[in-house]
């Protein structure tokens, strides 16, 4: 595994990995040295993008986004939350987007 993308891969696994992709329709994943972002089908409050960043205190900053490539301001943060623990990621994602991450 590329060490530059270890954090991004870890975030995806904490969200549920392949099952997460299938359940939510998430795609266009972009990993950074401390982040993961992806697009979603339009969901609650017009959210169609999501970004998760690992902060220096080893917690996550989560942002639900409304992205529009044609607008003057291509990305708008609809909701954000700081201090998210890894075991809270799925629940925070579900609450912000209204999308389920697993069947049960």
Cα angle 73, 84, 23 (rounded to 5 degrees) comes to: 75
Paired with 66 in beta bridges are 76
Answer yes or no: is 64 within a domain. Answer: yes
Query: Could you tell me if residue 12 is inside a domain?
Result: yes
At residue 104, does pLDDT exceed 80?
no
Is residue 77 included in any domain, yes or no?
Answer: yes
Looking at residue 68, its pLDDT comes to 82
Average pLDDT of span 80-93: 96
Q: Identify whether 47 is part of a domain.
A: yes
Residue whose pair of structure tokens reads 């697009």 in the numeric block: 39
Domain assignment present for residue 103? The answer is: no
Is 39 in a helix, a strand, or coil? strand
- pLDDT score of 36: 97
67: Cβ contacts below 8 Å, ≥ 6 apart: 39, 48, 49, 74, 75, 76
104 occurs within a structural domain: no
Domain residue limits at 19: 3-97
What total number of domains does the chain contain? 1
Question: Is residue 102, in this structure, part of any structural domain at all?
Answer: no
pLDDT of residue 72: 67
- Specify the pLDDT at position 30: 95
Lowest mean pLDDT among 2-11, 30-39, 45-54, 69-78: 69-78
* CA proximity to 96, closest of 73, 75, 66: 66
Measured between alpha carbons, how far is 35 from 20 in angstroms, rounded to an integer? 17
Whether the predicted pLDDT of 94 surpasses 90: yes
Model pTM?
Answer: 0.89
């Amino acid at each position: 595994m590329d060490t530059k993308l270890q954090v991004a891969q870890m975030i995806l696994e904490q969200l549920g990995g392949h099952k997460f992709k299938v359940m939510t329709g998430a795609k266009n994943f972009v990993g950074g040295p401390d982040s993961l972002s992806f697009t979603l089908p339009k969901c609650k409050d017009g959210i169609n993008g999501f970004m998760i960043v690992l902060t220096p205190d080893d917690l996550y900053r989560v942002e639900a986004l409304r992205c529009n490539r044609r607008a003057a301001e291509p990305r708008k943060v609809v909701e954000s939350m700081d201090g998210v623990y890894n075991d809270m990621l799925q629940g925070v994602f579900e609450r912000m987007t209204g999308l389920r991450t697993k069947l049960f």
